[in-house]
Chain A
Amino acid sequence: MLLFMRRYGIWLAAVIVCVVLPYIFTSRLSLTLFCQMGIALIFALSYNMLLGQGGMLSFGHAVFYGIGGFLAMHALNKISGGTLPLPIELLPLVGGLGGLAAGIVFGWLSTERSGTTFALISLGIGELIAASALMLPSFFGGEEGISANRMVQTTLTGFRFGKQIEVYFLIAFWAIVSAALMYLHTKTPLGRVANAVRDNPERAAFIGYNTRAVRTLQFSLSAFFAGIAGGLFAINYEIITAETVGALASGSVLMMTYVGGVGHFFGPILGAILVTFMQVSLAGITHAWLLYFGLLFVGMVLWAPTGMAGIIMMHEPVWKAGLMKRLLPSYLLIALPSLVMFVGVMILVEINYHLSLSINPEAALQLFGIRFKAQSPVAWSTAILLAAIGFVFFRAAKRKVSRSWDEVTQTMKGGAV
Chain B
Amino acid sequence: MFEYLLFSLLNTLVLGMLFFMLSSGLTLIFSMMGVLNFAHASFYMLGAYFGYQISAVFGFGPALLLAPLAVGVLGALVERYGLRSVHKYGHVAELLFTVGLAFIIEEAVNLIWGRNAVTYPVPNFLDFSLFTLFTTSFSAYRAFMLLISVGIFAGVYLVLTRTRIGLIIQASLTHPQGVSALGHNVPAVFMLVFGGGSALAGLAGVIGGIFLITEPAMAATLGPIVFVVIVVGGMGSLTGALVASLLLAAIQTFAVGIDVSLGDIFARIGFQMSPGGLLKDLWRIKISHTGPILPYLFMVLMLMFRPKGLMGKRES
By a beta-carbon cutoff of 8 Å, the part of chain A in contact with chain B is 51, 57, 74, 109-110, 112-113, 115-117, 119-121, 123-125, 127-128, 131-132, 135-139, 251, 254, 258, 288, 290-291, 293-295, 297-298, 301-302, 305, 352-353, 356-357
Q: A128 to chain B: which residues have CB within 8 Å?
A: 293, 296-297, 300
Contact yes or no, B100 A298, CB < 8 A: yes
In the bound assembly, the distance between CA atoms of A74 and B91 in angstroms comes to 40
For the complex, is B111 an interface residue (Cβ under 8 Å from A)?
A: yes
B91 & A138 in contact (Cβ 8 Å cutoff)? no
Q: Which residue of B is nearest A292, CB measured? A: B107
Q: Which residues of A contact B115 (CB under 8 A)?
A: 357
Q: Is the CB of A115 within 8 A of B91?
A: yes
Contacts of A124 in B (CB 8 A): 228, 296-297, 299-300, 303
- Among B93, B99, B281, the residue within 8 A (CB) of A135 is B281
- Chain B contacts for A352, CB-based, 8 A: 111
B303 partner residues in chain A, CB cutoff 8 A? 110, 117, 120-121, 124
16 CB contacts below 8 A, A to B, read A109-B304, A110-B300, A117-B307, A120-B227, A120-B231, A123-B227, A124-B299, A124-B303, A128-B296, A290-B107, A297-B99, A298-B101, A298-B104, A301-B93, A302-B82, A357-B110
A85 CA to B229 CA, complexed, in Å: 49
| CB-nearest residue of chain A to B305 | A112
Taking CB atoms, residues of chain B closer than 8 Å to A353 are 111
Looking at chain B's contact residues, the main secondary structure is helix
Are the C-beta atoms of A138 and B224 separated by less than 8 Å? no
**How far, in angstroms, from A254 to B96 measured CA to CA in the complex?**
9
Asked if A121 and B296 make an inter-chain contact with CB atoms under 8 angstroms apart, the answer reads no
Question: A121–B282 Cα gap in the complex (Å)?
Answer: 22
Chain B positions 283 through 300: 1 when the CB is less than 8 Å from some CB of chain A, otherwise 0: 001000100110011011
Contacts of B36 in A (CB 8 A): 116, 119-120
Instruction: For the complex of A and B, list the 5 residue pairs with the smallest distance between their C-beta atoms, beginning with the closest.
Output: A294-B103, A298-B100, A124-B300, A291-B107, A294-B104
Residues B111 and A291 in contact, CB atoms below 8 Å apart: yes
B-side contacts of A110, CB under 8 Å: 300, 303-304
Any A CB within 8 A of the CB of B89: yes
- Residue contact A139 to B91, C-beta cutoff 8 Å: no
CB distance from B199 to the nearest CB of A (A): 22
B residues with CB within 8 A of A: 34, 36, 82, 85-86, 89, 91-93, 95-97, 99-101, 103-104, 107-108, 110-112, 114-115, 224, 227-228, 231, 277-282, 285, 289, 292-293, 296-297, 299-300, 303-304, 307, 315-316
Inter-chain CA distance A344–B304, complex, in Å, is 49
Task: Check B279–A136 contact: CB distance below 8 A.
Answer: yes
CB-contact partner of A294 in B34, B82, B100, B278, under 8 A: B100
**A50 CB to closest chain B CB, in angstroms?**
12
Pairwise interchain contact B279-A120, C-beta atoms closer than 8 A: no
Distance (whole angstroms) from the CB of B218 to the closest CB of chain A: 16
Give the docked Cα–Cα distance between A113 and B300 (Å): 13
Say yes or no: B289 contacts A135, CB within 8 Å. yes
A356 to B224, CA, bound (A): 29
Please pick, from A57, A138, A290, the residue contacting B281 in the complex, using a CB distance under 8 A: A138
Task: Kindly provide the distance from the CB of A20 to the nearest chain B CB, expressed in whole angstroms.
Answer: 36
Q: Quick check: B281 and A137 within 8 Å, CB to CB?
A: yes
Q: Which residue of A lies closest to B316 (CB)?
A: A116
| Alpha-carbon gap, A124 to B227, bound state (A) | 9
Known: A297-B100, A301-B86, A352-B111. 4 other contacts (CB 8 A): A117-B315, A137-B281, A305-B89, A356-B110
Is the beta-carbon distance between B93 and A295 smaller than 8 angstroms? no
Given known contacts A136-B282, A138-B281, A139-B279, A119 and B304 CB-to-CB distance under 8 angstroms: no
Q: Chain A residues with Cβ under 8 A from B91's Cβ?
A: 115-116
Contact yes or no, A258 B96, CB < 8 A: yes
How far in angstroms is the closest Cβ of chain B from A117?
5
Name the B residues within 8 Å of A137 (CB-CB): 281
Nearest residue (CB) in A for B235 is: A116
> What's the nearest-Cβ distance from chain A to residue B34, in Å?
7
What residues on B are CB-neighbors of A295 within 8 Å?
A: 104
How far is A293 from B315 in the complex, measured between Cα atoms in Å?
A: 35
Which of chain B's residues has its CB closest to A128's CB? Answer: B296
Is the Cβ of B224 less than 8 Å from the Cβ of A302? no
Question: A127 and B107: CB pair below 8 A?
Answer: no
Distance from B237 Cβ to chain A, minimum over Cβ atoms (Å): 16
Point out the residues of chain B lying under 8 angstroms from A136, CB to CB.
279, 281-282, 285
A131 touches B316 (CB 8 A): no
B304 contacts A112, C-beta separation under 8 Å = yes
* Bound complex: CA A344 to CA B303 (Å): 47
Q: Please, which residues of chain B bring their CB within 8 A of the CB of A258?
A: 96
Is B100 a contact partner of A301 (Cβ separation < 8 A)? yes
Residues of A within 8 A of B316 (CB): 115-117
Residues in A with CB closer than 8 Å to B231 are 120
CA of A295 to CA of B107, assembled, Å: 10
Q: How far is the CA of A290 from the CA of B277 in the complex (A)?
A: 41
Q: Which one of B86, B99, B278, B307 lies within 8 Å of A139 (CB-CB)?
A: B278
Complex CA gap A142/B15 in Å reads: 30
A57-B92, A302-B97, A356-B114 given as contacts; is B278 within 8 A of A138 (CB)? yes
List chain A residues, Cβ under 8 A from B101. 298
Verify A290–B293 contact, CB threshold 8 A.
no
Given contacts A293-B103, A302-B82, A305-B89, contact A138 B299 (CB under 8 A): no
Asked whether, in the complex, the Cβ of B293 is within 8 Å of the Cβ of A132, the reply is yes
The complex places the Cα of A288 from the Cα of B107 at a distance, in Å, of: 8
B281 touches A139 (CB 8 A): yes
Could you tell me if B95 and A119 are in contact, using CB atoms closer than 8 angstroms?
yes
The complex places the Cα of A123 from the Cα of B302 at a distance, in Å, of: 13
**A112, B36: Cα distance in complex, Å:** 19
Look across to chain B and name the residue whose beta carbon is closest to the beta carbon of A132. Answer: B293
Nearest Cβ on chain B to A371's Cβ, whole angstroms: 22
B107 x A116 contact (CB < 8 A) = no
Nearest Cβ on chain A to B27's Cβ, whole angstroms:
13
Contacts of B285 in A (CB 8 A): 132, 135-136
A11 to chain B, nearest CB (A): 30
Kindly state the separation between the CA atoms of A135 and B284 in the bound complex, as whole angstroms: 9
Report the bound CA distance from A117 to B300 in whole Å. 10
